[in-house]
Structure 1
Amino acid sequence: MRKKEIIGTFEKLGVFLGQFSNLPGRNLTVMPWLEELNKEFFQPMDVLVQNVYIHNPWFTGENVRYALKVAATWLRAESLVNWLSCYDNRPERVKEKTIAVVMAGNIPMVGFHDMLCVLVSGHRLLAKLSAKDDQLLKLISEIISAINGELGGKIVFEEGRLKDFDAVIATGSDNTARYFEYYFSKYPNIIRKNRSSAAIIDGLETKEDLERLADDVFRYFGLGCRSVSKLYVPADYDFSFLIEAFSKYSHIANHNQWANNYEYQRAVHLIDRIPHLDTGFLLIKESSNLSSPISVLHYENYDRPESVIDPDLTESDRIQCITARRPVDGKIIEFGKAQEPGLGDYADNIDTFEFLLNL
């Protein structure tokens, strides 16, 4: 199957998904193929978006719609063409192989990017879904099959032991990565581990800046590798302005799982007399640790901004991304963009598509 045909399939998928993500777009009523697709899949997708939280309480309708928005943005024709233009010197066709992909389930549809890379590169997908996210991608694969039966036939979901594959992409924790590295050592592989994200505050932020930072902290309940779990702040930074801006997400206290984590962490900090700031829904404490528990945000002071923007931080294998008021090309992105990666923003900064093309 030619790449142009595959791209056309995903572009149609993006138009369909965009209906559930409040994306501004084109006049959908003039697309007969979409009307046919909607007859079969609009209601099942709509029901799943609203009810998947019953299976996984972290997958609220708001967060699922946001994940669909990101995917629909990726699947616009211009996004796909720009992404693939970086690989123009590569052959149109590759020798088709079966790629086993062990997917995470920390945020909705987190494995979709790997699915896209495998199929666009011309390979077959053998996917092992996380029990936490085993519904959305199955429905999306059915939609792909309805648009392009040949491409849909290249997607297989395996619930048991993975076998008969040529290469592996596996995402998990530091602990599971050790198992993956042992089990998949004889195959070409990408093994992903824990990563976290951070933000740099310079003290000149407006309320709007800090509200965008709140998106980076609270989106997906902070469960993504691109979720900001640590702040770097000037010495003697006054947190009152930040806490006021973060009240945008005060409703998160109504989420049962978040509230349970918050109450537990609050009790631990009070009993152990750990210094912290309490917003009523988030604890903010000083720590050298990059990652933080759910409902806790770490911070660390710095004396000079340039001491933060150095290779030890920006090139750390523990960092996925860094946000700030003023972006730095190739190193730091602006507040509010952490959960809006582009197609070329690969997990663990390993070029998945290049890996697949080289098999």
Structure 2
Amino acid sequence: MTIDDHKSHLIKLGKFLNQFQVVESVKDDSLPANEKLFAEMEEKIDNAVHHNGWFTRENVVFSLQQWSEALTEENLKLWLAEYDLSKSGGKTVGIVMAGNIPLVGFHDFISVLVSGHNVLIKLSSNDKHILPLISKYLMKLDSRYEERIKFTKGKLEDFDAVIATGSDNTARYFEYYFKGKPSIIRKNRNSVAILTGNESQEELSRLGEDIFRYYGLGCRNVSKLYVPENYDFDRFFKAIYEWNPIIHRDKYANNYDYNKAVYLMSEFKLLENGFLILKEDKSFGSPIATLFYETYKNEGQLNKTLQKNKDKIQCIVKNEPGNTEVRFGQTQKPQLWDYADNIDTIEFLLNL
């Protein structure tokens, strides 16, 4: 299977995913293999929502739409142009997927395929419905995928390399279990936003997307703010108020109530607006419904802090980003060349 074959298949997959909407999906009869799989995908979306209380239809469809926008001819060309994929392939790469947000391991999945390798997937029990259907669609496009895509419910066996994503605790297990194999082991990371006080209301509003999308469960979700001393949080609270319906989701509300009670009993100083708690804290991983913040005196001091903690940070969000930073509202819309933990997955796969 050539790289042009892969590109063609992924472009068709992107168009397939684009059909699914929050309110009413629109079937495209011109797409190959769509007659049956369109209805199956609708069923799998419902299954995912019923199985995992954090997976609303809005969030599952958001993930599908973001991948649809990524899988275009232009994006695939830009992504793969710098690699020599002609001599790659033939290995079996195991992927242990996380399940914190929908399709969180999809980038690893397509990276293995375009690199010419076979993929052996162990799904998270929290996110087990959508990727098998996507794999089925690829197999309908080209039967050769039937030999190249495998799923396992047990432990990974008979593989040449592995990509595993989990917490800091599971990473220790992965490192032991997969020792001796080429691997990418991903641990806990969080994202931060830098505020200067000069942001517009529109920019702060877009920051709400980075904080609340997927209920803040992703490593690309902003879990901490860096703000100048004496920062006025009123403008921030006003800008994100449009997200207040999130408190009507029981699982989110339960976390909000619990964390607020714990903090108040511990006599921590808090700011809150009825659906988000702000707590001053030097840590990065804030609980659900809570956002940590820390003040900084100057940009130089802040840059030293960020550099010191770079292994804990996935994204840095600011209103005038540099090459390694992200604009407000864009953390959950990564490009194909935005690699998790800044580890080039394709380069890793090419060197197997």
Partner of 2:20: 20
Residues 1:259 and 2:242 are matched in the alignment: no
Matched residue SS, 1:309 = helix
Which amino acid in 1 is paired with 2:331?
A: A
Query: Which of 125, 132, 141 does residue 126 from structure 2 map onto?
Result: 132
Identity %: 47
> What is the CA-CA distance between 1:50 and the residue it aligns to?
4.0
Q: How does 1:39-188 map to 2 (within 5 A)?
A: 39-87=35-83, 90-188=84-182
After the TM superposition, which segments of 4 or more aligned residues of structure 1 sit over 6 Å from their partners? none
Q: 2:269 aligns with which of 269, 275, 278?
A: 275
Aligned match of 1:353? 346
Question: For residues 184 and 151 of structure 1, what CA distance do their matches in structure 2 show?
Answer: 26
TM-score by length of 1: 0.94
- 179, 185, 194: which one pairs with 1:191? 185
Amino acid at match of 1:86: E
Cα distance in 1 for partners of 2:315, 2:304 equals 13
Instruction: Report deviation, 1:154.
Output: 0.8
Shift of 1:145: 0.7
The answer to whether 1:236 aligns with 2:227 is no
Give the drift of 1:314: 8.0
Q: Which runs of 5+ in 2 are unaligned?
A: none
Gaps in structure 1 of 5+ consecutive residues: none
> Aligned-pair distance for 1:326?
1.2
Partner SS state of residue 82, structure 2: helix
Report what 1:250 is aligned to: 244
Give CA-to-partner distance per residue, 1:143-197, whole Å, 9 cap, x none: 1111111124311000012111100100010000001001101101110000000
Pairwise CA distance, 1:7: 1.2
Deviates more, 1:183-192 or 1:50-59: 50-59
- Structure 1 residue 132: Cα displacement: 0.3
Superposed CA offset, 1:247-277 (max 9, x none): 1110100111101100100111121111101
**Matches of 1:332 and 1:57 in 2, distance apart?**
31
Q: Say if 1:196 and 1:291, in contact at 8 Å, map to a contact too.
A: yes
Aligned CA distance change for structure 1 residues 249 and 200 (closer, same or farther; 3 Å): same
Match of 1:289 in 2: 283
How many residues are matched?
A: 348
Cα-to-partner distance string for 1:199-258 (whole Å, 9 max, x where unaligned) = 000001111101110100001110101000000001001101101111111010011110
SS for the counterpart of 2:52 is coil
CA contact (8 A) 1:313 1:319 kept: no
Work out whether residues 48 and 128 of structure 2, in 8 Å CA contact, stay in contact via their aligned partners in 1. Answer: no
Q: CA deviation at 1:16?
A: 0.5
Aligned to 2:5: 5
* Closer, same or farther: CA 95–340 of 1 in aligned 2, 3 Å: closer
Counterpart CA distance in 2 for 1:341 and 1:75 is 12
SS at match of 1:86: coil
Q: Contact 1:145/1:153 (CA < 8 Å) preserved in 2?
A: no
TM-score normalised by structure 2 residue count: 0.95
**Structure 1 residue 91: deviation in Å?**
4.5
Separation in structure 2 between the aligned mates of residue 91 and residue 101 of structure 1, nearest angstrom? 20
How much has 1:351 moved relative to structure 2? 0.6
CA RMSD for the aligned pairs?
A: 1.6
Output the amino acid matched with 2:165: T
CA distance in 2, matches of 1:315, 1:351: 20
